[in-house]
Amino acid sequence: MTTTILSWVWIASGVLLMLLVLLHSPKGGGMGGISASGSSSFTSTSSAEATLNRITWICLAVFLSLAVILSAGWLS
């Protein structure tokens, strides 16, 4: 029962992690840097970006912790 619940939480945290990563604003030059002009205005992170970073790191920690716990078989 506990393994099933943690498996569902693990899957949900993985999906949430993917969505959170996609919500981040691009910071690197990449291919978009070729046509971008004046990108220096995006060097400071706003409060929303800092909060998004914090939530993403927490979700990553939950995802990796559950991956280790579930793969090690400590609950069975």
Summarize pLDDT for 33-42 with one digit per residue, the tens. Answer: 555 555 555 5
Residue at 63 is within a domain:
yes
Residue at 38 is within a domain:
no
pLDDT band at 25 (very low <50, low <70, confident <90, very high): confident
pLDDT computed for residue 61 by the predictor: 98
Residue at 37 is within a domain:
no
Q: Which domain holds residue 13?
A: 1-19+48-76
Residues 21, 24, 29, 30, Cα dihedral to 10°: 30
Least confident of 11-25, 30-44, 61-75: 30-44
